[in-house]
Structure 1
Amino acid sequence: MSLSHDIPLGNTEETVSRWTKHDTSWMLSLFGTAVGAGILFLPINIGAGGFWSLLIMAVLAGPMTFLAHRGLARFVLSSSKQDADFTDVVEEHFGASAGRLISLLYFLSIFPILLIYGVGLTNTVDSFIVNQLGMDSPSRIMLSGVLVFAMIAIMMAGEKVMLKAFEVIVYPLAAILAGLSFYLIPNWQMPDLAIMQDWQGFSVTLWLAIPVTVFAFSHAAAISSFANVQRRHYGKEAGQKSEQILKRTSIMLISFVLFFVFSCVLSLSPEQLMEAKAQNVSVLSYLANVHNSPFIITLGPLIAFIAISSSFLGHFMGARESLNGMLQKQVKMAPGKLDKLGIAFMFFAIWFAAVMNPSILGMMEALSGPVIAMILFIMPMLAVYKVDALKEYRGKFSTYFILFAGLLAVSAIVFSLI
């Protein structure tokens, strides 16, 4: 059961040529999916490598984000079936066995992130209740159950409610990010502009910064549902419209997130950034300690809660669709019943993880990383040379650029895990 069934078929070409509320809603949904709690660690993870590596990654972030997600959307839209989801498309293009394996890996790359968000959401709200409100810590079983149920209930309510929830969440998130970025301007320091003499060390730093940048801006989990909805909404013009929405999403992401990253990095010295990295704390926690600012201390949990909530919704959308797609291939049951079965499984799994609060979450995130990079960057580009529907993109610079960036990202992740 896909979100695409919640909206009417086909629209006029006039709708395609102009920007509509539908397009804005999906732009905000994709933005919200990308901006998770990881944004609070991004300035430290990228900035600790020095100003020049930060600048180079800032220049590359826009093209990598837009071109990779456009490639994945084109891949989903290349199916000959009108209502094909990601699972259907990979089976159609790569055969049943390979298709099922890729679909399983895709689900397993998204699902651990949902577990991480379930834990993060519970910890953030619990910390806020204890530290900001001065109340006793509530029952973890009750708190996590209510939070996870509330998030899933939004998704169960259908596309309109889900998109409205993104609007309610994302506008404050963007406003707070921009406000905090401006707030830090008086603390900006002149960065160290000396070019590193150790080119080998500099290139390794830059190489390892690629996957960090890729995942900071990734909204791959929502792309299949997004592309499907555009196909149902715009028909043959879905590719053109998807590209337009993805372009504006990328511009919004780069503008808000990079301004936040630069503002945080310029407010701290290279030594402080390295210290923050060693402490493994979020940039807001470190800034609050350095500047002794109650304003930043208060904003930290709020940004974390909003960012985790918005990203949870987007990742749940992808996990729900991919799990449904796999179950439909294996179990003969009505799609509606399968959907409810899948949602029940995910609810109890996320709730269990949130209650147990395991310490292996970082490792799970690291293991899902290479699969996301392969599915977002490498697989759609390989499909360009395998699928006739995508042959017009063969030999284009953007195809080689994304394939090369994907190989660098996967190799960097594997290198960092060894």
Structure 2
Amino acid sequence: MNGNTAKNIEFQVDNTAVKNEKYLDPKKWHKQDTTWALSLFGTAIGAGVLFLPINAGSGGLLSLLLITILAYPVMYYSHRALAKMIYASNSAEEGITGTIREYFGNKASIIFNIVYFVSIYTIVLMYSVALTNTASSFIVHQLHMPEPPRAILSLVLVLGLIAILNFGQDITVKIMSMLVYPFIASLLFIAISLIPQWNTSMLSFSAVSTASTGTGY
């Protein structure tokens, strides 16, 4: 009996050590937090580079600052509440779907999965189209190669991204970190190099009245 008790205690200690190693102290900032923050920042900036219209700044800097101020609490507090709900759950390893099942039951989990799939699927469609257009433009204009069939190109790109995700979280984060650092550095370099081209007249309130005259490309 004593031998079995000692083995159980040893197993519990080892299991606790593994759990503590996997789930770091949330009150402290870790290297993994920096990598995730920069990776999410890179994906957000990437979406802005792809989808932000060229004439978005035609109304001046003040309009963009106003949109940022309005969007910040909506995005920040909702994502923080979602992260806290998942972290406080006993089913955190199962992700958001397991957390919803724990709090609201199986029926709510099924409804949530359907809504979640529809919302993510529409985003995937937009990104797949934009990614295909960008890759095709790069092949034609930068590599000076003939344009590949769009169906094959889109299939290869999407399957490549899915293959990266199938390697697991650690490999995905490493690949994201390798991509996001040079991406952010290139954006900073371009932004700083374009400072002499700034049009300071767009910082005035008078530019807002001419916002409707902007033309897109």
Query: 1:201-257: per-residue Cα shift (whole Å, max 9, x none)?
Result: xxxxxxxxxxxxxxxxxxxxxxxxxxxxxxxxxxxxxxxxxxxxxxxxxxxxxxxxx
Cα distance change, pair 40–175 in 1 and its aligned pair in 2 (3 A) = same
Once the two structures are TM-superposed, the CA of residue 97 in structure 1 deviates from its matched residue by 2.5
> Aligned residue for 1:153?
163
Q: Is the 8 A contact 1:28 1:166 kept in 2?
A: no
Work out which of the residue numbers 130, 134, 155 in structure 2 matches 1:120: 130
Please tell me whether the aligned partners of residues 122 and 144 of structure 1 are also in contact (alpha carbons under 8 angstroms).
yes
Question: Which residue of the partner structure matches residue 57 of structure 2?
Answer: 47
CA-CA distance at 1:89 after TM superposition = 2.2
Q: After alignment, is 74-83 or 164-173 more displaced?
A: 74-83
Change (3 A) 1:13 1:91: closer
Question: SS of 1:85's equivalent?
Answer: helix
Q: CA deviation at 1:30?
A: 2.4
Is 1:57 aligned with 2:67? yes
- List 4+ stretches of structure 1 deviating above 6 A: 195-198
Any idea what the Cα deviations from partners look like across 1:286-322, whole Å, max 9, x if unmatched? xxxxxxxxxxxxxxxxxxxxxxxxxxxxxxxxxxxxx
- 1:133 corresponds to which residue? 143
* Count, aligned residues: 199
Distance 1:45 1:90, change over 3 A: farther
1:142 lines up with 2:157 in the alignment = no
TM-score (norm 1): 0.42
* Counterparts in 2 of 1:100 and 1:48: CA distance versus 1, 3 Å: farther
- Tell me, yes or no, if structure 1 residue 193 matches structure 2 residue 204: yes
Paired residue for 2:215? 275
Q: 1:152 to 1:12 in 2, by over 3 A?
A: closer
For 1:43 and 1:181, the matched residues in 2 are separated by 17
Q: Tell me how far apart the structure 2 counterparts of residues 83 and 173 of structure 1 sit (CA, whole Å).
A: 31
What is the identity, as a one-letter code, of the residue corresponding to 1:89?
T
- Aligned residue in 1 for 2:110: 100
Q: Which has the larger radius of gyration?
A: 2
Q: CA deviation at 1:170?
A: 0.6
Aligned letter for 2:101?
E
- Written as runs of structure 1 = structure 2, the 5 A alignment for 1:236-251 is none
How far is 1:100 from its partner? Answer: 1.7
Question: What is the match of residue 168 of structure 1?
Answer: 178
**1:136 is paired with a residue of what secondary structure?**
coil
Is there any run of 5+ residues in structure 2 with no aligned partner, and where? 1-17
Q: TM-score, normalised by structure 2?
A: 0.74
Residues 313-340 of structure 1: CA deviation (Å, up to 9, x unaligned): xxxxxxxxxxxxxxxxxxxxxxxxxxxx
How far apart are the structure 1 equivalents of 2:57 and 2:109?
39
